[in-house]
Amino acid sequence: MGGSTRRRHDWTRHAELATIAAPRLDFFAMKIAALSDIHGNLAALDAVLDDVRRRGADVIVNLGDILSGALHPAETADRLIALDLPTIKGNHERQLLSGDRETMRLSDRWAHDTLRDDHRAWIAALPARLMLDDDVLMVHGTPASDLVYFLETVTPDGCRAATPDEIAQRARDAPASLILCGHTHVPRIAKLDDGRLIVNPGSVGLQAYTDDQPHPHRIETGSPHARYAMVSRTPAGWQAEFHAVEYDWHTAADTAAVRGRDDWTFALRTGRC
């Protein structure tokens, strides 16, 4: 993956979102709303943004796998481009940019067919990793890969929680006290022996899926709620809270059904696969 990138923005220029997207990076305290794996589910994204607005946050970050799916890739891109949040690529963005349409799976192919050139330019400009405020590292999978699960391990028997040694090996010497990751759609937290905290906020847009790499396995959160995390820096260190947000998942499931995606239809309604 590419090297870490630092950037500063004035998020307050979007006045209507200033209460949720205006970081006060000069204070010791920081409250981060961590979003990941939106997968083009605009209704879930909007519900999460409303919940963040209600709770308040200094900055919202987006951890990748943003558009590919069975729902609304272009509309989701329009919403996020306007917000200009700190955002990184996931494996699906990389696949959209580098893959041949005929070899793409259905979710990437739908995004490929519906995105405009300005959407593709936005995706292409996103970094693979991002340092936020010098102490927070944003990655999609792990610091070294956008495909490897950070806090879970896939074996021939299925998917399980990763061991502390496995997590430490994947974290390597990443220079951050907080590492935010996504990819697996599973809300989970782990603290390393050296004090670093790793948080996966879960998925905004899809609560269950199956995969065949590196072994066949399934991921299920067990309910259709959109997930995200609030992570706060306090005098006692980083603290994380996970949130499950209601939205109109039945309409989202109906849209997936119209597009012939029975896998998404069931997952959106139930959080199972």
DSSP structural state of residue 162: P
**What is the average per-residue pLDDT within 26-34?**
80
Report the relative pairing of strands 130-132 and 136-138 from DSSP bridges: antiparallel
Cα–Cα distance, 74 to 36 (Å, whole number) = 17
**Chain centroid offset of residue 203 CA:** 6
Structure confidence at residue 18 (pLDDT)? 36
Placement of tokens 């999978």 in the chain:
141
pLDDT classification of 4: cutoffs 50, 70, 90: very low
pLDDT higher than 50, residue 20: no
**Tens-place pLDDT, residues 260-272:** 999 999 999 999 9
Give the mean pLDDT of the chain: 91
Name the one residue in this structure whose structure tokens are 């979710």.
107
| Residue 26 pLDDT level (bands cut at 50, 70, 90) | very low
How far is C-alpha 79 from the chain's CA centre?
Answer: 15
Q: What is the mean pLDDT of residues 222-238?
A: 96
How far apart CA 180 and CA 82 sit, in angstroms, is 23
Contact of 190 with 233, CB cutoff 8 Å: no
pLDDT computed for residue 28 by the predictor: 65
Spatial contact of 168 and 32, defined as CB atoms under 8 Å apart: no
Using one digit for the tens of pLDDT, what is the confidence trace for 67-107? 999 999 999 999 999 999 999 999 999 999 987 899 999 99
**Bridge partners, 227 (sequence order):** 244
For the whole model, what pTM was predicted?
0.90
Tokens of 172: 């390597």
What confidence score (pLDDT) does residue 39 get? 98
Place of tokens 């597009």: 259
pLDDT in tens, 106-141: 999 999 999 999 999 999 999 999 999 889 999 999
Please state the φ and ψ torsions of residue 47, each to the nearest 5 degrees. -65, -40
What is d(CA 125, CA 234) in angstroms, rounded to the nearest whole number? 33
Asked, as a colleague might, if the bond just before 214 is cis with ω within 30 of 0, I would say yes
Provide the token pair at 225: 């709620």
What was the pLDDT predicted at 237? 94
> Nearest CA to 89 among 144, 49, 146?
146
Q: Which residues 6+ apart lie within 8 Å of 164 measured at CB?
A: 190, 192, 193
pLDDT of 174 over the 80 cut: yes
H helices of the chain, in order, are 18-21, 42-55, 73-83, 91-98, 106-114, 117-125, 164-171, 249-258, 262-270
The answer on pLDDT for 8 being more than 70 is no
